[in-house]
Chain A
């Protein structure tokens, strides 16, 4: 925690943003999910995105993860403009994502899930299952995720274990930018605290973390900056340490904030 306090005292302008959206718009049919959204996320910082259901949080994360392409506005990863995106390109740009639905395959085993789309090969085309089993077991053990066996099918796991696998997969990729959409949704109190430690460890390693969560207490414990969304707009931004839960709740429900409109 001392280390994080030190980082906090640095001016955010010291480094260019790892991830940036400039006035992003996104519609699905007649529904406008993102309206003129601006976002900046910095290395070594944890940005939390808050908002009610339908506020556009998940759409924003999917844009950042390459699942959706913005209708208007720019997405920049490490200062580089990314026009056409796909999850594959996003990952090549150094973005790892824990999706809200976890994006896991129930009929495959844990190791296959952890290496989905980026398997370890041998002799060009063959899957090196042995190494994947070993590496998956190591990654899970390092993060303290307990599973019966890395050969177990994902469909056999509990919700918490699945979430652990999805998080371990993103962490294992060791990318400089990590997006987490509701990473604690299926977790109990102890596991949630554990995920908090993992996130702080990512921050200590200088990674840029973007976190979406409904759990305000959790968000206040781990994040550095808050971005509150409401009805597809950015309602406001705060330093986590200079605000409180009442103010944030007021912003989420629309009773307070809307800094962008004032500006």
Chain B
């Protein structure tokens, strides 16, 4: 650490950590943004839209975009918290069924004259309850999350069908449907709700001490435990959050449709996992961002709507989703390898000096 005046100009000496902490920030921040999946995603969306605009003028229609973003809002609300579960080293396949459960429970309560607040709260509670079951089984019985949540996916969807007799519930009172159907500044409420949910998820993951614990848990559970993090409790909380978010989104969907439909959430689990992974969430845990999950949800909606507008055969749309998913995962691998390669070189240089 002692740098003589004669040695200083050679620059072979590394600066002290304190100097680096102050000076190196901009480079690191720039690198982080340049390499972030979110930037790549935003560019992809932008390019696709640009191409679309040159092909058909309907790409410029405001209503098309409002519908598209509203659809993405539902995906994003769930995808944010599924991404957090995955970043914490877990997986939640039950969110599609829980979405339906939330939709049906809140619809049933609203239909029977309960206030919207009670209907939403009970819907969310059901989701949280499924999350508790998922989390406890995963963490205390050491059964892989993919199996546990696959099981609860079947279980919950079967219960939804059993109690609803596969019949929709409706029509729902306007006090309940207002939040799903009304606009603010010409935009659906739902979009603003999704923005608020995404901001909450962002703050949780990126600003709170809990967020750092979540990433530690997902990257190296043993090290997290050794460091004094309550890994089981934390992991259970994550499943509760994703269950609650899914049920909340389901209740919103009932409010938008004006009726509770028992199969609204079918297939949602795979869409939100795709959105999270496209947004840079690592299936192995530890890595991922909320802006990425939101942009991933948006990309899926833009692709879905865009391909319709471009008159691509609707049966081929999911092919596009699949290709994007795999390309995104591949790019992420490449980026990670690149990052560690340059850093390995830097570390070597540091050792040599």
Contact = CB atoms under 8 A, between A and B. Distances in A.
Contacts of B28: 149, 151-152
A91 B215 contact: no
A148 B351 contact: no
A147 B340 contact: no
Contacts of B122: none
B17 A103 contact: no
A105 B215 contact: yes
Most buried by B among A65, A138, A148: A148
Contact of B208 (A102, A127, A153, A158): A127
A126 B207 contact: yes
Contacts of A87: 225-228
Contacts of B350: 146-148, 158, 161
Given A141-B1, A150-B20, A153-B343, A103 B286 contact: no
Contacts of B225: 67, 86-87
A86 B287 CA distance: 26
B69 to A, nearest CB: 29
A107 B21 contact: no
A104 B223 contact: yes
A135 B28 CA distance: 19
Given A117-B228, A126-B207, A152 B343 contact: yes
Interface string B220-239: 10111111111000000000
B16 A141 contact: yes
A147 B347 CA distance: 8
Contacts of A112: 212, 215-216
Contacts of B16: 137, 141
A133 interface: yes
A21 to B, nearest CB: 19
Contacts of A88: 228-230
Interface in A87-128: 87-88, 91, 97, 99, 101-108, 112, 115-119, 121, 125-127
Contacts of A106: 219-220
A125 B209 contact: yes
A127 B286 contact: no
A148 B287 contact: no
B337 to A, nearest CB: 11
A65 to B, nearest CB: 7
Interface of B: 1, 14, 16-18, 20-21, 24-25, 28, 203, 207-213, 215-216, 219-220, 222-230, 286-287, 339-340, 343-344, 346-348, 350-351
Closest A-B pairs by Cβ, 4 of them? A156-B343, A117-B227, A117-B228, A88-B228
Interface of A: 65, 67, 86-88, 91, 97, 99, 101-108, 112, 115-119, 121, 125-127, 133-134, 136-138, 140-141, 144-153, 155-158, 160-161
